[in-house]
Structure 1
Amino acid sequence: MKSLKRIVRHAGAWLLPVTLGLSLTAVASEQANFATLRLSPGFSPQAGTAMGETGGHVSMLSITNQDAQGNLCLGYTAYRDMPDYLLILEADFDRLSIGVEGRGSDTTLMVSGPQGGDSVVRCDDNSGEGDNPLVEDSSWPAGEYAIWVGAKEANQRHSYKLVVEP
Structure 2
Amino acid sequence: MLSLNRSCFPLLILLGAVPVMAERANFETLTLASGFNKATAIVRGYTSGSYSLSSLANSDRDKRPCIGYGDPNPDHILILENDFPKLALQVNSGGKDTTLVIRGPDQNTIRCNFSASDTQDARIEDEDWKAGRYEVWVGSMAAGQRLNYRLSAQ
Give TM class, smaller chain.
0.7 to 0.9
Partner of 1:135: 124
Q: Which amino acid counterpart does residue 123 of structure 2 have in structure 1?
A: L
Task: Compute the TM-score of the two structures, normalised by the length of structure 2.
Answer: 0.82
Are the aligned partners of 1:37 and 1:47 in contact in 2 as well (CA < 8 Å)? no
User: Cα distance, 1:132 vs. partner?
Assistant: 1.0
Structure 1 residue 59 and structure 2 residue 52: aligned? yes
Instruction: Compute the displacement of 1:126 (Å).
Output: 1.5
1:55, distance to aligned residue in structure 2 (A) = 1.2
Moved over 3 A (4+): none
The answer to whether residue 78 in structure 2 is matched with residue 87 in structure 1 is yes
User: In structure 2, what is the Cα distance between the partners aligned to 1:97 and 1:42?
Assistant: 14
| 1:5-154 matches, cutoff 5 A | 22=19, 28-78=21-71, 80=72, 82-115=73-106, 119-128=108-117, 130-154=119-143
TM-align CA RMSD: 1.7
2:29–2:43: 8 Å Cα contact kept in structure 1? no
Q: What is residue 7 of structure 2 aligned with on the other side?
A: none
The SS at the match of 2:54 is: helix
Where in structure 2 are there 5+ consecutive unaligned residues? 1-17
Deviation of 1:104 after TM superposition, in Å, equals 2.5
The structure in which a higher percent of residues are helix is 1
Task: Percent identity, please.
Answer: 38
- Paired residue for 1:163? 152
The Cα of 1:128 is off from its aligned counterpart by: 4.2
* CA displacement at 1:34 relative to structure 2: 0.3
In the TM superposition, residue 37 of structure 1 has moved relative to its aligned partner by 1.0
Give the SS at the match of 2:44: strand
Unmatched runs of 5 consecutive residues or more in structure 1: 1-20
Aligned residues, how many? 137
